[in-house]
Amino acid sequence: MHMAEVPYSIEAHWYSDLLSFFSDTSNLAAWGAITGTIGVLAGLINLVLRVREHIRDQSKIAAEPVFDFTINPEEANPKFSIVVRAIGRRTVTLDKVEYYYQPSEERFSFLRKHYMWKRRKWVSHDEIQPNNQPVQLSEGTSRTVPISPSRVKNIRHIRRVRIVDQAGRGWRVKWPGRKEITFLTSQDKIKHCEKTTDDKFCKLVGYRAGDKWYVTVQWSSGDLFRSIASRYFSYRDRASFERKFGDLQENQIDRFLSGEITKFE
């Protein structure tokens, strides 16, 4: 009697191979090690993500100084400030700005200076509460805190600045080093030129304020005391400043005095 052929079952073959694989203890141990490693890695990744999320949920700010000047014909007036930005998700309430001064360039070592700062010596602060109203920053918002004139006067002796919130937490301001802050907060009068005629007057001043160079020009025609106009030009590099000053001094001033032009470009 002829027996019918049983069709080959792929599912049954796969199942039997799997049972055969796990019946070997060495294969089972290896598989356990692989799955365990995958579990550990997944746990570590989850932990890192949760820590990052926790850090982002905290109050956090970033602060940096801005050394601007108000430009006048003869000189520039300092207009320094600190821009405070909230980069954490939780709202932060600003309290004060702490300034750490260099006691002396010669007598105090690096370690002794920090020891005195820790004991709150050579440290002073300014409140950040205009009109006695608390300043709150939410994520993505910023606040410009002016640096008071008394601080500007001695700004070259400030070595560290911190923003402190009402909970007592502090954040360092990205304060420049000694040489850089001396350059950024100082100004030098570089050039000067003045020409007059019977009915016209023109004065040219060139100076550096911070990291920019300025050319200011004053002029008048007719009444020398009542019709004075002025404007200034600013440049990021010394070469452009020199070219502009030369053009005004050697070309435009004479054209103005002769009546060819009435203003400076």
Over the stretch 191-214, which tens digit does the pLDDT of each residue have? 999 998 888 889 999 999 999 999
Q: Domains along the chain?
A: 61-184 (2.60.40), 187-257 (2.20.130)
Q: Which of 129-138, 152-161, 218-227 has the highest mean predicted lDDT (pLDDT)?
A: 152-161
Mean pLDDT, range 86-90, rounded to an integer: 87
Residue 211 in contact with residue 184, Cβ under 8 Å?
A: yes
Mean pLDDT, range 234-238, rounded to an integer: 95
Per-residue pLDDT tens over the stretch 215-232: 999 998 766 556 788 899
Measured in degrees and rounded to the nearest 5, phi and psi for residue 79 equal -140, 70
- What is the band of 1 on the pLDDT scale with cuts at 50, 70, 90? very low
pLDDT of 124 above 50: yes
Burial label, 7 (beta-carbon count in 10 A; 0-12, 13-18, 19+): exposed
Other C-beta atoms lying within 10 Å of the C-beta of residue 101: 18
Whole-angstrom distance, CA of residue 60 vs CA of residue 101? 25
End-to-end, the C-alpha distance of the chain in Å comes to 115
Listing DSSP states for 206-226 in one string gives EEEETTEEEEEEEEEESSTTT
pTM above the 0.75 mark?
A: no
Return the residue matching tokens 């404007």: 231
Other C-beta atoms lying within 10 Å of the C-beta of residue 193: 15
Range scoring the smallest mean pLDDT among 24-28, 99-103, 174-178: 24-28
pLDDT exceeding 70 applies to what percent of the chain?
82
Measured in degrees and rounded to the nearest 5, phi and psi for residue 152 equal -60, -35
Return the residue matching tokens 């911070």: 210
Mean pLDDT, range 103-113, rounded to an integer: 71
Mean pLDDT, range 6-16, rounded to an integer: 54
> What pLDDT score was predicted for residue 13?
57
Whole-angstrom distance, CA of residue 37 vs CA of residue 195? 84
Comparing 154 with 226, which gets the higher pLDDT?
154
Q: Which long-range contacts (CB under 8 A, 24 or more apart) does 188-193 make?
A: 189/75, 191/245, 193/248, 193/249, 193/253
- What is the band of 39 on the pLDDT scale with cuts at 50, 70, 90? confident
